[in-house]
Structure 1
Amino acid sequence: MTASPYFIRPEQVSAFGFDWGQLALTVGPEVNGAQRFSGGIVTVAPGGGHSRHNHPGAEEIILVMAGHGRQMVEDIDGTPVEQDVGPGCTIYVPESRFHSTLNTGSEPMTLFVVYSPAGPELALRELPDFRVLPLRAG
């Protein structure tokens, strides 16, 4: 089977690892040439989560694929809006708004995230717990 830039599985790319979980970037300029957005599969360990942060100049879409958690998105006036989320829930994070995710379940939480424009995920490389995880056998 010939590799195609149109069909990418998480195990085909190196993942960004963190103390709370990982991001396998499956679409973006450096993965398959996508120019206007980037995204991938995020896995959040039970009890784990990423702290409050934002992506200056970028919007984000988060789709909860599996697991349960608590999501915070900053409102237009800076007030944090929090809600319990689970499979099928889509979260919209407006441009530059602070947000955080916490896995409140006992199983890994799986998310599909999309950034527009592409690029905010590159700043993750500057975090102190960042590491590149090796490719998984697929």
Structure 2
Amino acid sequence: MTGEKFFVYPDKVDTFAFDWGRLALTVGPEVNGAERFSGGVVDLQKGQGHARHNHPGAEEIIFVVSGTGEQMVEDENGNPVVQQVGPGCTIYVPESRFHSTLNTGDGPMRLFVVYAPAGPEQALRELPDFRLIPAEK
């Protein structure tokens, strides 16, 4: 494996774009051969967020890099637990639990997300507002 597979910047990989934001996968089977997890950088513009959804059979970690927002994660009884989150907060989403994120701050919100096992992010390609933005060369 070449060094470029170990050190990956979000602008050097294809980006999934949606009406609510972008996801640049910086680690995963198709990016650098990671087998047990995948992940990347999510950018949400002011007032934008992703709708309530889940990843059947997968856990997720969301780390708030910058910005502030409202995070919802369902508890074990299916009740929504909502909290304001900001830089440095790690959110754990148990397997198959519904969750959502909304940027409530005054500027962009940046997250780093990890899925285990790898793969749930590929379902995003099926969303009606999905667009693929090729990596910068």
Equivalent residue, structure 1, for 2:85: 85
The percentage of aligned residue pairs carrying the same residue is 71
List per-residue Cα deviations over 1:116-137 (Å, max 9, x = no partner).
0000000000011100013246
1:127 aligns with 2:127: yes
Which deviates more from structure 2 when the two are superposed, residues 76-85 or residues 128-137?
128-137
In 2, distance between residues paired with 1:47 and 1:91? 20
| Cross-structure match for 2:65 | 65
What's the TM-score once normalised by structure 2's chain length? Answer: 0.96
Cα deviation digits, residues 92-138 of structure 1 (max 9, x gap)? 0000000000000121100000000000000000011100013246x
Q: Which residue of 2 aligns with 1:31?
A: 31
Amino acid aligned to 2:68? H
Q: How far off is 1:3 after superposition?
A: 5.3
- Return the letter of the residue paired with 2:74: E
Q: SS of 1:78's equivalent?
A: coil
CA distance in 2, matches of 1:134, 1:55: 25
State the 1:14 CA deviation: 0.9
Query: How far, CA to CA, are the matches of 1:11 and 1:129 in structure 2?
Result: 20
Number of the residue aligned with 1:74: 74
Q: Across the two proteins, how many residue pairs are aligned to each other?
A: 136
1:106 and 2:106 matched: yes
2:38 matches 1:13 = no
Q: Give the aligned CA root-mean-square deviation in angstroms.
A: 1.1
Runs of 4+ in 1 over 6 A off after TM superposition: none
